[in-house]
């Protein structure tokens, strides 16, 4: 049934009464997601769309609605506190969609959640989806997904959608899709998601999409080469980006040789991953790998 989410996932939306929170909460509900609560301080007691109770605190949403996944849509200055509130309430899975969270705030969040029984996806991410369980926690367009056995993991939301669109057009379904986020400091790495896919009996292969900046792709390559027992096809974007200039994501900046696209491609190829030449080739490369697998 894929990773992270399942049919028992009960989602609360922090910031459900705001513009972005309300729009995407409705989209998640329309997809089939069990949105059981909203959290907006000062607006407890309301009903969102006449069916979802709104609470003043995450602790109350957990205690009264049984929420076990948090989806965060709050302004950047308050995102770190929103994450910490879910951690303190014992929520095991948190997806923070907010873009523009100060790096210093995320340094504190990373230290705070260290060694705690919680997984944070994001921030600045599209979230995650499990098509088979009809569970969407984030902003990805649900209609392009179809249930299947290919896992997708990416730093880029837009490229996640592109990958899924190409796969679905070729009749290739997805077990799960996870956008880990494009900021310099995020909660969950490529290696952690690859490990989950490696252990998932419902995932046969993985489509991996990285980009310039940092060394997460090299860490992923080391994992693929040493521990991954499922095939991986990988795309690295940003090959033409000049050093020192940020391209799109806050974390997509070349700060050394290891941060370049060429260095990342080399590491992944040497680890045994099949390199996807361009974004237009994601679907056909995956299709060829599946055919080779029989």
Choosing from 67, 90, 125, the residue where a domain stops is 125
Domain membership of residue 132 (yes or no) is: no
Between CA 247 and CA 254 the distance in angstroms is: 9
Residue 249 falls in the annotated catalytic set? yes
179 plus 38 within the same structural domain:
no
Domain membership of residue 131 (yes or no) is: no
Structure confidence at residue 238 (pLDDT): 79
Q: Do residues 71 and 11 touch, judged by C-beta distance below 8 A?
A: yes
Between CA 260 and CA 211 the distance in angstroms is: 8
231 plus 266 within the same structural domain:
yes
Which CATH number characterizes residue 48's domain?
3.40.50.720
Domain membership of residue 135 (yes or no) is: no
For 7, the domain range is: 1-125
233 plus 101 within the same structural domain:
no
Number of domains in the chain: 2
184 plus 229 within the same structural domain:
yes
Neighbours of 45 (CB within 10 A): 8
Domain membership of residue 261 (yes or no) is: yes
Q: Do residues 122 and 190 touch, judged by C-beta distance below 8 A?
A: no
180 plus 279 within the same structural domain:
yes
69 plus 190 within the same structural domain:
no
**Angle 161-6-2 (CA atoms, 0-180°, nearest 5)?**
55
Choosing from 125, 154, 187, the residue where a domain stops is 125
Residue 201, classed as helix, strand or coil, is: coil
85 plus 194 within the same structural domain:
no
Domain membership of residue 170 (yes or no) is: yes
Domain membership of residue 130 (yes or no) is: no
166 plus 277 within the same structural domain:
yes
Domain membership of residue 133 (yes or no) is: no
Provide the residue-wise pLDDT of the chain in tens; the chain has 294 residues: 789 999 999 999 999 999 999 999 999 999 999 999 999 999 999 999 999 999 999 999 999 999 999 999 999 999 999 999 999 999 999 999 999 999 999 999 999 999 999 999 999 999 999 999 999 999 999 999 999 999 999 998 899 999 999 999 999 999 999 999 989 999 999 999 999 999 999 999 999 999 988 889 999 999 999 999 999 999 999 776 666 655 556 555 555 666 788 899 999 999 999 999 999 999 999 999 999 997
Could you tell me the pTM of the whole model? 0.94
121 plus 144 within the same structural domain:
no
159 plus 98 within the same structural domain:
no
Spatial CB neighbours of 288, under 8 Å, sequence gap ≥ 6: none
| Cis before 123? omega within 30 | yes
Choosing from 67, 102, 125, the residue where a domain stops is 125
113 plus 195 within the same structural domain:
no
Q: Residue 18 burial by CB count (10 A; 0-12/13-18/19+): exposed, middle or buried?
A: middle
Strands lying side by side in the sheet with 11-14 = 47-48, 52-55, 35-39, 11-14, 69-72, 93-96, 119-121
Q: Which member of 212, 249, 265, 282 is catalytic?
A: 249
Spatial CB neighbours of 294, under 8 Å, sequence gap ≥ 6: none
Between CA 105 and CA 211 the distance in angstroms is: 23
Which CATH number characterizes residue 280's domain?
3.40.50.261
110 plus 153 within the same structural domain:
no
Domain membership of residue 134 (yes or no) is: no
């Amino acid at each position: 049934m894929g990773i992270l989410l399942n049919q028992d996932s009960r989602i609360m939306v922090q910031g459900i009464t705001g513009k972005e929170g309300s729009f995407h909460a409705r989209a998640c509900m329309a997809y089939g997601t069990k949105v059981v609560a909203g959290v907006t301080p000062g607006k407890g007691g309301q009903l969102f769309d006449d069916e979802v109770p709104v609470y003043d605190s995450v602790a109350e949403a957990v205690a009264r609605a049984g929420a076990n996944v948090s989806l965060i849509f709050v302004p950047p200055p308050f995102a770190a506190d929103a994450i910490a509130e879910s951690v303190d309430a014992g929520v095991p899975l948190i997806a923070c969609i907010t873009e523009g969270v100060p790096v210093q705030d995320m340094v504190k969040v990373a230290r705070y959640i260290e060694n705690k029984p919680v997984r944070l996806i994001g921030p600045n991410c599209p979230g995650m989806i499990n098509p088979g369980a009809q569970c969407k926690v984030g902003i990805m367009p649900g209609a392009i997904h179809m249930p299947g056995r290919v896992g997708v993991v990416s730093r880029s939301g837009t490229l996640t959608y592109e990958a899924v669109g190409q796969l679905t057009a070729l009749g290739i379904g997805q077990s799960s899709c996870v956008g880990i986020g494009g900021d310099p400091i995020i909660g969950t790495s490529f290696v952690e998601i690859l490990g989950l896919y490696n252990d998932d009996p419902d995932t046969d292969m993985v489509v991996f999409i990285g980009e310039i900046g940092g060394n997460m792709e090299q860490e992923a390559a080391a994992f693929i080469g040493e521990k991954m027992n499922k095939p991986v096809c990988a795309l690295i974007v940003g090959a033409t980006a000049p050093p020192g200039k940020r391209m799109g994501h806050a974390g997509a900046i070349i700060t050394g040789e290891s941060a370049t696209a060429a260095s990342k491609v080399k590491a992944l190829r040497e680890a045994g991953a099949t390199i996807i030449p361009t974004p237009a080739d994601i679907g056909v490369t995956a299709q060829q790998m599946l055919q080779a697998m029989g």
